Amino acid sequence: MTLRKRNELKSLFKNKSRLSEAHFAELIDAMLNKRDDQFHGVWKPGQTYQKGDVVYYDRALWEMQTETEICAKDGQQPGIGSDWKSLLKELEQKVDKLQQELDALRKEFNDYKQSIERRLQLLAKFIPILFLGLAIAFIWLFGESTRHVLFGVG
């Protein structure tokens, strides 16, 4: 029996045609057709892989990139050469890079926060002196304006 692609079999269901036992058998076989899925489970040496095939290796999914079919050997595992590409590994590397950048930003923010806290502490020390100076200035202005009003001294 020739394996048919699932999309081909799905069209039978969409056309409202009367389905036979053979159609269901073909559908079941198509569901188990790994070449259609291109997922081959765990990477194994000695197995042939084509472009687009997906395997599980080193806690990641890897997709075959080269145009030519290969017979996998030890030393050609995913991640060693350019035959395989893992989006998961790329994402892990990007996450690690973002984590390092986040750690650097967190350190810079904490340093900035500490410098602002030191400045606020210094400002808190000078606020009473500032208010004392303002109070003296207002008392002097009030005294001078009162003297000017009462005595008319210019």
Q: What is the mean pLDDT of each run of 10 residues along the chain (154 residues)?
A: 64 71 71 61 81 83 81 78 79 90 97 96 92 95 90 71
Res 6: pLDDT: 63
Res 99: pLDDT: 95
Q: Which amino acid is at 135?
A: A
Q: How many helices and strands, by DSSP H and E, does the chain display? A: 4, 6
The DSSP code for 17 is P
Res 93: pLDDT: 85
49 - beta bridge partners? 70
Res 114: pLDDT: 97
Res 74: pLDDT: 77
Res 113: pLDDT: 97
- Does the 38-85 domain belong in CATH 2.10.10? yes
For the full predicted model, state whether its pTM sits above 0.75.
no
Q: Output the DSSP codes for 83-127.
A: SEE-HHHHHHHHHHHHHHHHHHHHHHHHHHHHHHHHHHHHHHHHH
E strands in the chain: 39-42, 48-49, 54-57, 60-64, 70-71, 84-85
Res 96: pLDDT: 92
